[in-house]
Amino acid sequence: MTAVVTALILLCGAATSPRRRRRIAAAFAARRLRRRARRRAGLVGEYCAGIARRLHAGETLLQAMTAGATGSAAGDARPLREPISRLLDEHARGVTLARAAQRWATRDATEETALLSIAVSLASEQVGADPALFDRVAQTIGARNDLVADARVQVAQARASIWVVASLPWAIAVVLLAEGGTAADVLLHTPLGWFSVAAAALMELAGIAWMRGLIERAVP
């Protein structure tokens, strides 16, 4: 078992080194930022639908967009209040609505905010903003959100499959050890067995990390 213990110590040491901890912390921070941006992006469709409703009611584009900053046009979409308020502040300082929306889209770098920016740019060029522009954007984003939700369900199933597949070899090993015999003696009392257990553990961890990475990259 000396080789197994040594391999585990080395693995833990590599995982807890200062450089590794910084990389892990940076990865988690970036992941949180991406999730926040995705959540905001998913609410842009509701915001566009609210703008369309207010335009249908006779409000101006600025009035309809301002309503979203207080939540009246976007329901309880609090994550949108900060970027909308920033957009309106820029407009109050002399930046056009179209340019302010383009800056928002550049900061978030999402397809949803890019669509909103295009709709605002087109609506700003018209004497009376066309509600249909924002209706179409809301429908497009809603359809995309449905696709992403379905994909995430499949991702959850794939993650569960990963853990099931990863646990099977260890379950078989436990059964063999419980039964005793030659296989148990080899695993527990020979260098070859210790090496096999350590190698299997490292390969399992590498495989899980690789498959999780594929899944994370497959879904936005």
Q: How far apart are CA 77 and CA 65, in angstroms?
A: 13
SS3 73: coil
Distance CA 108, CA 80 (A): 11
SS (H, E, C) 52-66: HHHHHCCCCHHHHHH
- The pLDDT of residue 31: 67
Predicted TM-score of the model (pTM): 0.57
Record the tokens describing residue 175, joined without a space: 């059964």
Contact 95, 27 (CB under 8 A): no
Domain ranges for the chain, please list them: 2-218
Q: Which pLDDT belongs to residue 211?
A: 73
pLDDT in tens, 82-130: 888 888 899 999 999 889 999 988 888 788 888 999 998 888 877 677 8
Quick check: 101 and 115 in contact, CB under 8 A? no
